[in-house]
Amino acid sequence: MKIKRNYEEFEGKNKFYCNGFIIMSSSNCAFLITFSSIIFTSTLFFYHDARYFCEKSFIAIPIVGGWLFMFVIVMLLWTSFSDPGIIPRAESTDEAMYIEKTFAPVIVPSEPGPPVYVPPQRQLDVTIEGKKFLFKYCFICKIFRPPRTTHCSICDNCVECFDHHCKMVGNCIGKRNYRYFYLFAVSLFFLCIYVFVGAVTHLVLRCIEMKSFLEALDENPTSAIVAFICFITFWPIAALAGFHSYSITGLMISSRGENPYYAGSVFYNCFKVICGPAYPSLIRRRETVSNLLVYASYGAIQLPANDTSKAPNLSLPTSC
């Protein structure tokens, strides 16, 4: 009998590859375009411009460019292939009914018959470490979502600390992969500048050698193509990197007196995002399917499927 793993029974719209090690959204066309564009432009640069600098004994230029290129690719793949922070749905009908019955008032009908449970309230106020948090109920996943959690309509999952669904990387951006997405955006920004400056410098040096710009351009059209691509793509990349850099510094500062996620300074905000702890995946996609365990939505709570004597644990960290 073939053993099934959790990713084979996953109810969202994500796609899994390599026996569940890779998770992506259902539509990956934009990711393929992003990946191919970076590979194509960088290949032209290293084959034509970087080779010229090597011939002129400027070996450091292709070395730095190669390291930056590899870092961009690694961050892109890490962002695209990792679990963004998906919160499991109510894993069984008993669990979903238990959550509804626990938080919903009971209506006793005037006519003889069993009591009727109304749908659960749309929100729940929970106090954690002296601070009040608002938990909203997801009618699709049948769970109360933690703060800063949103149900992604594209992937059909609740994602903790949901930022946005990025078609460019083919995945949601959330609690578990935001740092890699941010590092990808910033490193791609610097790679774009680096390749643009390198291509333009190559053209200028060839122009000085040949004493004619048109002849240099005619002999080195690849450099002009690389510079043009980098110039066009620089602006959206700069806007993306700038917005997220401002988000983890400036926006938190403006509300540091009320924002419970403020770390205390710009340095600690950035440190928490880039060097914070690696959060475990809650969907346990590589584990074997078991009917004996039910995973609650805010942590791995192990309960027998038919045991409703204990309420689900709603405690969770106060920071993302």
Catalytic residue among 166, 172, 192, 230: 166
CA angle 318, 7, 294 (to 5 degrees): 55
User: Who's near 76: CB < 8 A, 6+ residues apart?
Assistant: 34, 35, 38, 169, 184, 188
CB 161 within 8 A of CB 272: no
Residue 166 annotated to the active site: yes
How deeply is 108 buried, as exposed, middle or buried, from its count of CB atoms within 10 A (0-12, 13-18, 19+)?
exposed
User: Who's near 15: CB < 8 A, 6+ residues apart?
Assistant: 23, 24, 25, 26, 28
Half-sphere exposure of 253 (CA within 13 A, CB side): 11
CB 170 within 8 A of CB 27: yes
Report the DSSP pairing between strands 86-87 and 106-107: unpaired
Using CA atoms, how far residue 224 sits from 44, 152, 199, 231, in Å, is 11, 41, 7, 10
How deeply is 36 buried, as exposed, middle or buried, from its count of CB atoms within 10 A (0-12, 13-18, 19+)?
exposed
Using CA atoms, how far residue 53 sits from 37, 62, 68, 139, in Å, is 23, 8, 17, 59
Sign of CA dihedral 25, 27, 33, 36: positive
Residue 34 DSSP SS3: helix
Cα 134 to its chain centre, rounded Å, is 23
Catalytic residue IDs: 166
